Structure 1
Amino acid sequence: MEQLSCQLFHSDCQIIMRDLANKNQQVDHIITDPPYAISQHNNFHTLNNPRKGVDFGTWDWGFDPAFWLESAYPLLASNGSMIIFCSYRFISQITHKIESLGGVVKDIMVWQKANPMPRNIHRRYVQDMEFIIWAVKSKKSKWVFNKPEDKPYQRGFFQTPTLLGKERTAHPTQKPIRLMHEIIKIHTHPGQLIFDPFMGVGSTGVASLDLNRRFLGCEQDLQWFELAQIRLNLG
């Protein structure tokens, strides 16, 4: 389904990326939130009322957090950036893969949730942070970095609430539009093409169109794909 500045694919992103490569199509930036591969069964079988494990969906079990980059990296334009959300568990794995392909990791940013969901508060720290890898195509890249004029410098630290009100959908790892606005404004220019191979319910796409960027998104789960279509006024 497509309109002038937006194209969505209901498919495995590996298939779409191979097809784009065969057509010699490039994208200006890749901004994506892949599965974190952190779903797990609980480890408290001895408790009378064991806590449930973490299950984000079938797409999160056994996901290789770096393999997809082999297909994505060749699509990135010479001055393009990759912005990749990830768990702290896989920062080194993803950065190593990017560097092995010829990319350059510039920074690791942090998203801190202003209103995290507490759990096991007497046994563990509140998990209020997620990590974001910023990489560019090569050492020769003239990457985009739009420092906000009202700041003396830009920290690699973003703090927003998690989803509130009508923005929330059923997707368990949906990112706030406000967060995506901030990232897209800093790392891209109007009119550029942003690709999200794991678009979920389309938050990157909504923010891209809000800011006059073009968007290309891929999602293999039909439920999330249909929600993305609605949110992007393509349903």
Structure 2
Amino acid sequence: MKKVLITGANKGIGFETARQLLQNGYYVYIGSRNVENGRAAVEKLNAEGLMHVEAVKVDVTDSESVRAARQEIGRKTDVLDVLINNAGINGGMPQSSLEASVDQFKRVFDTNLYGVVRVTQAFIDLLKKSPEPRIVNVSSSGSSLTLHSDPNWLYYSHKAALYPSSKAALNMYTIDLAYQLRDTPFKVNAVCPGFVATDFNNHRGTGSVQEGGTRIARYAMIGPDGPTGKFIAEEYSPKTGETPW
């Protein structure tokens, strides 16, 4: 049974991705900053008959917490097949380039970029033991420089300084990570779940959480011929999924 760690998986897209991977026969570690929230998520999944799941406390902004999570999971398994870096914050609104403070930028980057780096580096040894390791970094179409420079893009006027820039940096990290692992079985991609209605965006999204979870789970399960080092936003590139940076 393949094993997957999903950070920030006690609710929203992370929770739905966990559900779908469980339905596909994976063993899921629900990463949650608040372990009680993680256990509550596990109980919900258990009530649906999905039993191969447990909660792990992990705060991606805290190096000690990440190391503790690695030790805990390492006591349970020698191999991790999939890492989904899903934990993220939007930074609140408004996000003006002229008014947002450096401290605000630091808070958002600490979760959305540095948190991914912490978790990936901590678990890379377990991932390397998998015959088909997969890393999915949850990104956003809003990080695309190409789309945000196009006045005809649907969300052209939806500018924000913090969240999109953190995800653009995450995309670059994804490219470099995929390159570093290019001669291995790893598949590493940045995937946008779409503009999905969750409490992350005050339920203003136009898509369903099920759609978002499906998009993330798909790239967690890709085969050896699947892409790597790509930015995928199927909502905007339905034919190939690959989206301009």
The two structures have a TM-score, normalised by structure 1, of: 0.40
Is the strand fraction higher in 1 or 2?
Answer: 1
Higher relative contact order (CA 8 A, sep 6+): 1
